[in-house]
Homo-oligomer: A and B are copies of this chain.
Amino acid sequence: MLERQQLVRLLRQVPLLHGLGPNDLSGVAAAAQCREIERRRFFFRQGTIADAVYVLNRGRVKLTQSTPKQAHVLLRFIAPGEMFDLTSLDGQPYTLSAEATRWSQAVVWKVPTMIALMERYPSIAVNALREMAARLQELRERYRELATERVERRVAHALIRLAREAGWRRESGFSLVDIPLSRQDLAEMTGTTLYTVSRILAGWRRDGIIESGRQRLAILQPSAVQAIAEDLPGATSGDEKPKT
């Protein structure tokens, strides 16, 4: 658990609370609770009542949605400082689950508390809007991809996003060390199957574009991945497409 002072210092880094002065922050901190959970445990699960707003402090969280018949979709990862996607302010159930991919710590406000804080410090609400707008934007983009692009390109896009959000720059390219990322995960991010993902990655590995192992992945040639994601020349997947 955290001391008040420590908590305030942390909250200063949180985009949701940008623009608040030290006194304000202290008030906001006073209304917060703190939760820590182990790897593979859930901050909340789809179906339970959405009664709180979460901001991740340390660790890494995976937001997923699942269907009655056990098909899962991986929506996004949350990095420290980010707010978990909020689903409802009206006591509806969560429509997604938040699972820690490793030990994680989050700051939590009850929904009515947070609404009161927003009424008192409107810039919190505006910050939240910004963050929601950005999420909506990204999801729309992925939706369009899913509707219009083939699998290989979607996987390439997924890697680019992951590298941006959680990639460590190395001598050559990026490695995605922060997140244990299985083929299954990638499949659930891109709307395909683990088999197809495995085949695609195998191809890229043969071409020296990536390096990959069990739950690990490194991008050796970011530009090549980019080329596959867009429709640039230099895409390697076998057939060249001669422009007429």
Report how many copies the assembly holds.
2
Q: How far is the CA of A191 from the CA of B148 in the complex (A)?
A: 7
Min CB distance A191 to B, Å, is: 3
Contact pattern, A 89-133, Cβ under 8 Å of B = 1, otherwise 0:
110000110000000000000000001001110110110111011
* Contact yes or no, A86 B129, CB < 8 A: yes
Q: Would you call the interface of chain A mostly helix, strand, loop, or mixed? A: helix
Partner of A140, one of B96, B122, B190: B96
Q: Is A12 on the interface with B (CB-CB < 8 A)?
A: no
Q: Is A141 on the interface with B (CB-CB < 8 A)?
A: yes
Partner of A87, one of B67, B90, B137: B137
Q: Is A139 on the interface with B (CB-CB < 8 A)?
A: yes
Min CB distance A150 to B, Å, is: 12
* Contact yes or no, B140 A139, CB < 8 A: yes
Q: Is A75 on the interface with B (CB-CB < 8 A)?
A: yes
Q: How far is the CA of A15 from the CA of B50 in the complex (A)?
A: 21
9 contacts between A and B (CB under 8 A): A71-B148, A95-B140, A96-B140, A119-B123, A119-B126, A128-B129, A139-B140, A146-B191, A147-B190
Chain A residues near B (Cβ < 8 Å): 65, 67, 69, 71, 73, 75, 85-90, 95-96, 115, 118-120, 122-123, 125-126, 128-130, 132-133, 135-137, 139-144, 146-148, 188, 190-191, 231
- Closest 7 CB pairs between A and B? A147-B191, A125-B125, A122-B122, A71-B148, A132-B132, A73-B144, A119-B122
